[in-house]
Structure 1
Amino acid sequence: MEATYDFLAGRITARWQETQQAGPPGGKAAAASGGRRLLIALAGPPGSGKTTIARRVAQRLNDASGGPRAVAVAADGFHLARAALAALPNAAEALARRGAPWTLDGAGVVALARALRDQAGRAAVAAPAFDHALGDPVDGAVVVAPDVGVCILEGLYLLCDAAPWGALAGLVDERWMVSVPEEVAAERVARRHVRAGIVASWEEARARAEENDVPNGSPKANHQSFSRRSSASQAIRAQLAQPQNPNKAREKKTMANTKEAAASADAASGITMSAAEQTLLMAVLTHSARPEPKWDVVAAMTGAPNAQAARKRYNRLAEKLGVHKVEPQQQQQQQQQQAATASPARKRRGVGGGQPLSKKFKGSTKKVKVKVKDDEDEDEEEGQGEGDMGEDVDDDAEV
C-alpha cells in the first residue's frame, strides 16, 4: 500500500499545482492568498480502508516540502444522533440500520463541500466528527483552516447519485472509489463491532455486518455510479492487483530511487514536463520489468485506453527527452540479435538512437544512501463504532 499512497499523493500534488496556475503561487500559503482548494471525494463500503487511505495520503502531502497543506475529513460526523433516530416513526429500524443513507445528513455533507470550496483562503470551515466514546457526532470537532490547499472527503455515499448526495459531483475535483471483496469487508466490520462492544458475540457481529453494513456498501443499494471512476481509481486498482513485495524495505528504497530518477530526468533534460508526462514517467520507472515495463499497469495509472497506447505515449515522451524508446518485446529481441552480429566498430558506436535513461541523467543524479528498515504490519484504526465509522485496511483492497 505504500506505493499506492505515494502515487496518490503525487497525483494530488500535480493536480493541485494545476489549480494554482490561475491564482497566485506560494506553496502551502497559496490557498490563503486566493488559490483554489482541491477537493477529493473518496468513497467505499464499510471496511474497504478509505479512512486509512485518506489519512495516509494527507500525511504524505503534509510531510512533503513545497506542496499543499492537506486534511482528511470523514463524513461519519454527519450520522444522525441516536436521539434523532429514536424520534423517527420507525425508530427501531433506524437504530438497527444506522449507517444506511437515510440515517445520515446528506444535505449537510453537500453544504460542507460547498463551504470548503467557497471559503478557501477566506475563513475556517468547521465540520462535525463522530465521537466513538459517546456514540454520537460532535459539532465543530474538525476545523479546516483557510490555508489548507487539499481536502480529502471520505465516506460511504460520496459517489451516490441519488439526492442529495448527487450534488457532490459538481463540487469536487476528483472522485475515487475503493472496494474490497465482500467477505473481507464483512470480516473487518464484524471485528470492529466486537472491539467496540456493540455486540456480545462473534455470531451477532457477523449477522450485523451481513444484514446492515454489507448491504449499505452495495453500489446498487446506494446508487453509486461506477462509470464515473477517475483514472486514479483505475491506477490504485491496478497497483493493488500487483503481487505485494514481501521485502518492504526493498519496496520503499525502490520508490525513493524512482522519485529521484524522475526529478533528475526533468532537471537534466532542461525540458519542462507536464503533470501528465511526469505521471507517465513515474509509472514507467515504478513498474519497469524485463524485457519491458508492465504496460497494462502503466495504462491504468495514466488513463491510457490500453497497454499499446501507453507504450506509444511513453515513446513520444522518450523522443522528447532524448532517451531510448521501448519497442515491443518481439521487435526488441530482433534488435538485440542484430546488435550481437554487428561489427566491432558498430558496437563501439552503439546501436539505436538516443541515450539510455541511466546514462542520459548520470551526471545530474545525486546519489543518496537510503537507510530503510522493515515496516511493521499495518496498524488498525483506533476509532471504531457503528455503521462505517472507523476502518481497517489490508493490502487486498481494490480501487
Structure 2
Amino acid sequence: MSATTELVGGLRDRVLELAARRSRVIVGVVGEPGSGKSTLTGALAEMLSETGVSTAVVPMDGFHLANAELARLGRAERKGAIDTFDGGGYLALLRRLRDPDEAVVYAPMYVRGQQESSVGSAIPVAPQVRVVLTEGNYLLVDDDPWRRVREVLDETWFLDTDPELRRRRLFERHVANGKTPELASTFTFGSDEVNARLIAATRERADLVVPWL
C-alpha cells in the first residue's frame, strides 16, 4: 500500500465515522491553488463509493463569475481571486445540500481548457447521497459571506502541500488549459500567489491539516 493510499484510507475512515452519526456529511477541503484538492477529493470519493457509501464531489470552482462579468468588473486579469467568485451563491448551495427536505440539488461545474467557464446544473446530488465533498480555496476565509460556509460543514480540512511542487503543478495546469508559458507564469507567480497567501492564513481554522503530495 502506498503512503498516499494509506492517507486517503485514513480520511475515508474518518468520514465513515462521521457518517455513522449523521444522515449526510459535508466535508470541506481547502488548499492553495495547485495543492491537489481535486485529486484528493476524487480519490476519497472513489474509496467511499467502494464501501457502498454514495458520495458526490461539489467544487467551489463552479461559482466562478462568468468571463464577461469579470471583464465588465475589470477583474479578468486576476481570475481566481476571492472577489471573482459568487460566494453567496456557493453558500446558498451548501445550505440546500444540508436541507433534508430538498430533492435533487444541482450544482454547477467549472470546465477548464480554452473555455474556462462554469456550466450550471451539471452535478446532481440526490437525496440518498450520504457524503458531499466540497473543495475550494476560500472556505475558511473570515469575511462575509465566506465565514458562514464553515457553519454548514461538518469538518474542514486544509491540504499542506510543498510550495514548489504546488507552483509547478499550477504552472503546468495553466499551460495545459491553453495559456502561453509567459501568461501561465504571470498568473502562477502573480495573482495566484497573492491568493495563496490569503488561503494559507486560514490554515489554523481547519479541523484537520492533511499533508499532501
Q: Same fold (TM over 0.5)?
A: yes
- Find the partner of 1:15 among 6, 18, 25: 18
**Which structure shows the bigger proportion of residues in strand conformation?**
2
How much has 1:223 moved relative to structure 2?
8.0
Match of 2:34 in 1: 47
How much has 1:226 moved relative to structure 2?
2.8
State how 1:1-399 maps to structure 2 within 5 Å: 1-19=4-22, 36-65=23-52, 68-88=53-73, 91=74, 94-119=75-100, 122-133=102-113, 134-199=115-180, 201=181, 203-218=182-197, 221-222=198-199, 224-230=201-207, 232-233=208-209, 236-237=210-211, 397=213
TM-score (norm 2): 0.92
| Counterparts of 1:128 and 1:191, CA distance in 2 | 25
Higher relative contact order (CA 8 A, sep 6+): 2
- Secondary structure of the residue aligned to 1:217 is helix
Structure 2: 5+ residue stretches without partners:
none
Residues 24-79 of structure 1: per-residue CA shift (max 9 Å, x gap): xxxxxxxxxxxx211101110111001110111011111114xx311111111100
| Counterparts of 2:39 and 2:194, CA distance in 1 | 22
Q: 1:222 to 1:130 in 2, by over 3 A?
A: same
CA RMSD of aligned residues (A): 1.7
- Paired amino acid for 1:37: R
Residues 212-262 of structure 1: per-residue CA shift (max 9 Å, x gap): 1121121xx2585333222x42xx33xxxxxxxxxxxxxxxxxxxxxxxxx
Structure 1: 5+ residue stretches without partners:
20-35, 238-395
- Paired amino acid for 2:89: G
- Secondary structure of the residue aligned to 2:150 is helix
Match of 1:386 in 2: none
* Equivalent residues of 1:46, 1:217 under 8 A apart: yes
What percentage of aligned pairs have identical amino acids? Answer: 33
Query: Higher Cα Rg: structure 1 or 2?
Result: 1
Q: 1:150 to 1:185 in 2, by over 3 A?
A: same
The aligned length equals 209
